[in-house]
Chain A
Amino acid sequence: MGSTIARHPALIILLALFMISLLVWVSWTAVAYNGLVRKDQAVLTQWAQVENEYQRKIDLIPRLVNITSQYTEFERSVLENITRLRTQWQQNFSFDSRVNNSIVIDQQLFLLVATYEAYPYLRSIDLVSNLMFELAGTENRIAVERFRYNGAVGSLNSQIRSFPDNLVASTWGIHERPLYDPIPGGP
């Protein structure tokens, strides 16, 4: 075989090209896979941050209900709904159920805030206004973390859908992640 290869230098070149191609393909696959894993982990980490901030809002609810229930301007039905939804949040752990649950909680809290803004005298009550500031602060934190989550998901999904990284993603079972989309039915 050695003398065969020596007599056919073209074989040597072909073999060398094959080895180089193989090396390049393995290197690229490793780099692409590692990049996808890193981005996927970034999405999971960012979602954990969204849940962390949302938990902060959930933890605020007992104090919110306790204080606002002392004022007749706040509807009892809204406060009862918020309490019930808080319990549901704590019992549901799947992504879809938590997203749906958080949308409904936000709707009820919106009614609460609307009541606060409709009665100016409530702003003079320190306990109530402090609570509303904390609620607004928490809402903003959630919005920021959700934006960052969607950014991480966008980056991951773009890479998964791009050629040739889509080959690596499908081979190793790395899938697209859902965006945090409170208004479903978009593009």
Chain B
Amino acid sequence: MWRELVRFGLALAVLAPGVGLAAGTAIPTIYLYVNDLTSPGVLLRSEVSDIGDVCYQVDVATTAEIAVLLVNTTAPEGIDWFAAETFARNGIGKAGQDNGVLIVVSTDERLWRVEVGYGLEGVLTDSFVGRVGQDNMSPAISAGDFYTGVYNGTVLIGQQILDLYAPPPGNHPPPDLIVIDWKSVAIGVGILLLIGVITKGKVFLWFGRIFMRGGFGGGRSGGGGARGGF
């Protein structure tokens, strides 16, 4: 019984921080160029891919990073603060160059915001971005066509970057589309090994139990059958 309690406690210790983080975080962590976090989603997979392609091309050509985020609401922070915090916490743009752009659309509040990194302020002025949003994004989004509005906005912003932004000199490797957080992997493996040592390997048997069948029907035997040697 004590072993069971210890195992339960270990499981809680491993899972609890994750639950706490998930419950308390309002600012999302984003990894992709296009992040549709609305429920239900407003973009199709193909539409996400189309917009993502634009962002990728801009990234390859100039190292500038455009991120798109769609959410249902930005409450309680409000879209201005939400965009600024999301931008800061996710570090959009290359370190040292600050050449990131974050396009946020809040579907319930019917608001959009474009947050521009320090390094692109000379290229994407407030008036230019405001015009793009007002003339190209708002009309489509107001009509319920989120894809057209966001796509047009991303293309215009991306084109402005391509036309006017001079990437720093030197070799620019293509952006990593899949990044493995080796530190998290190492921590996860370490915790699993520790649990394995504590439970003397039995934790690995538990994994097998996930896939076991539901059990036999509960029938009985009277001694019938056969036996043989070889």
Contact = CB atoms under 8 A, between A and B. Distances in A.
Answer whether A and B are interacting partners: yes
Contacts of B131: 129-130, 133
A122 B196 CA distance: 70
A129 B80 contact: no
B171 interface: no
B129 to A, nearest CB: 7
B130 A144 contact: no
Given A143-B80, A144-B84, A138 B130 contact: no
Contacts of A132: 130
- Contact-residue bracket for chain A: 10 to 19
A93 to B, nearest CB: 26
- Contact-residue bracket for chain B: 10 to 19
B84 A133 contact: no
Contacts of A123: 134
A137 B80 CA distance: 10
Residue in B80, B81, B125, B127 with the greatest tally of chain A CB atoms within 10 Å: B127
B80 A133 contact: no
A42 to B, nearest CB: 16
Nearest to B115: A140
A129 B126 contact: no
B127 A130 contact: yes
A136 B84 contact: no
Nearest to B78: A143
A109 B126 CA distance: 17
A23 B134 CA distance: 64
B52 to A, nearest CB: 27
B118 to A, nearest CB: 10
A106 interface: no
A134 B125 contact: yes
Interface of A: 123, 129-134, 136-138, 140, 143-144, 147
